[in-house]
A and B are shown apart, each in its own frame.
Chain A
Amino acid sequence: MNPFTPIINGMRITLSHLFKKPVTLQYPTERPNVMPRFRGLHALNVSHNKAKCVACYLCPTVCPAKCITVEAGEDANHDKFASVYEIDMLRCIFCGYCVEACPVDAIRMTGEFELANYRREDFVYSKERLLEKK
């Protein structure tokens, strides 16, 4: 076989790539387009100015990483509510099972993916911090 053909073909391909638009995303300045079903940071849904969560313990039960801590409490109307709701982001594997398991649609996942922090304690998201994400 002619030894030059593969070399010339290869050179032609690399040259044609030179004029293509690069696929690089200049990340911190250019933001990626996060898809609607992306599984990012959790958020607790709100209804009538309070969290929808009824502390049924289905999400900590289904959680494979055991990262959700729920403690039930009783409010003025004798309704069950989550007095403590914490998610440890260092353990969370972002599988989304908690969202699937929730019977009252109290938890969802947002497109937030920049979860870096300086201290380990900051990775444990309290109920207040999870509620902030509207």
Chain B
Amino acid sequence: MDIVILGLPMMYYIAMVAKVLVAFVFVLLTVAYATYAERKIIGHMQVRLGPMRTGWHGLLQPIADGVKLFFKEEIIPSQSSTFAFLIAPLIALIPAFITFAVIPFGGIIEIAGYKIPLQVASYYDTQVGKVFDVNVGMLYILAMSSLGVYGIVLAGWASNSKYSLLGGLRASAQMISYELSAGLAVVSVFMLSGTLSLNEIVLQQSAFHGFNWFAFKQPLAFLLFFVCSLAEINRTPFDLPEAETELVSGFCTEYSSMKYAMFFMAEYANMVTICALTATLFMGGWQGPFVDTIVLLGPVYFIAKVYFLMFVCMWIRATLPRYRYDQLMYLGWKVLLPLALVNIVITGIIGHFIK
């Protein structure tokens, strides 16, 4: 406690490293077991069993998959742009993971007199007596999710294959058109909250035992944001960039081994982040009953909400077929975007009269 590095106590650094590790391991484990859960849930929805052989009820399946992909042959197409081809999976993967840095996953815990807010990019300032986090957290997330597109576009272009290129083109068109609606959908939340800091947004939803959710105040924005996020992370029914039926495997056709696994991990990490973000913005984040008395309930509520939303993603995947390309563009530009704009106008009018 006495050692001070760069004006901050030692405990700050220890807490920071611990939080980063916990959040990273959480996302990594969730990504690994989301693949298993997805296969299980979709299997049971199709009256099948899903993986059953590796371990009890197939519980070791993600590890087996990982080991298999790790030892597969690395193939780099001779006509590809090697540097871009190699860097693309990383560009897709890293933004998917680092978005989690600003998402609060619990209240403030106190260890040896030092208060630690459960959010990676934040700290408790003892002099001011308040939590400081990234005050433009939401902008940071929007920026990072836009960066993820580059990985996919680059992968499609660098592979020098027509299927990959088409997948990459589709990805860029789709992500750009749906990012607009997603961004506009969250604007109506900011109009209510008056802040871009995710920590503040969660705290504002704490009334009524943590059920003062923005999802109830902004049901349309909630729906729009979730649908647009599904489209942005290429989940069914918007998985056109890797439409197996027409594009082989889209942008990752030419990828193999661990580089393919990176795209796979990026897809699921994006799903975790989007679900965590939806839970934070619209479903009260880590807020819930009795969270003030028992602080550790915060992460429990948060994880429960994230996992519920991930289940909904898998449920949607088991139900809905893929959109046709023109339907996708129609939905994005002519349905979701006007709805998001109308939502902002209505929120503005109501907000003006209530004040």
Contacts and interface: CB of A to CB of B under 8 A. Distances in A.
Interface in B141-174: none
A20 interface: yes
B52 to A, nearest CB: 6
B46 interface: yes
Interface string A1-40: 0000001001101110110111110100000000000000
Given A7-B320, A10-B320, A26-B52, A17 B315 contact: no
A17 B46 contact: yes
Contacts of A26: 49, 52
Contacts of B46: 17
Contacts of A15: 45, 315
Given A10-B319, A11-B316, A14-B319, A20 B47 contact: yes
User: Could you say which interface size class chain A belongs to?
Assistant: 10 to 19
A10 B318 CA distance: 9
B315 A22 contact: no
Name B's interface SS. Answer: helix
A17 B316 CA distance: 14
Interface string B33-51: 0000000010111111100
B49 A22 contact: yes
A18 B37 CA distance: 13
Contacts of A11: 315-316, 319
B319 A24 contact: no
A17 B52 contact: no
Interface of A: 7, 10-11, 13-15, 17-18, 20-24, 26
Contacts of A17: 44-47
B48 A23 contact: yes
Contacts of B318: 14
Contact of B48 (A10, A13, A14, A24): A24
B49 A24 contact: yes
A18 B312 CA distance: 13
Nearest to B223: A4
The 6 closest A-B pairs by CB, nearest first: A24-B49, A14-B319, A10-B319, A14-B45, A22-B49, A14-B318
7 contacts: A7-B319, A11-B319, A14-B319, A17-B45, A18-B41, A18-B45, A24-B52
A22 B39 CA distance: 14
Interface in B306-323: 315-316, 318-320
A20 B46 CA distance: 9
Nearest to B312: A11
Interface in B285-339: 315-316, 318-320
B47 A23 contact: yes
A105 to B, nearest CB: 42
Contact of A14 (B49, B52, B315): B315
B163 to A, nearest CB: 29
A14 B47 CA distance: 10
Contacts of B47: 17, 20-23
Interface string B188-220: 000000000000000000000000000000000
A21 B43 CA distance: 11
Contact of A22 (B41, B43, B316, B319): B43
A100 to B, nearest CB: 38
Contacts of B41: 18
A13 B45 CA distance: 9
A22 B44 contact: yes
Nearest to B53: A26
Given A7-B320, A17-B45, 15 more contacts: A7-B319, A10-B320, A11-B319, A13-B319, A14-B45, A14-B318, A14-B319, A15-B45, A15-B315, A20-B44, A20-B47, A21-B47, A22-B47, A22-B49, A24-B49
Contacts of B49: 22, 24, 26
Contacts of A18: 41, 44-45
A20 B43 CA distance: 11
B54 to A, nearest CB: 14
A23 B315 CA distance: 20
A13 B47 CA distance: 12
Interface in B21-78: 41, 43-49, 52
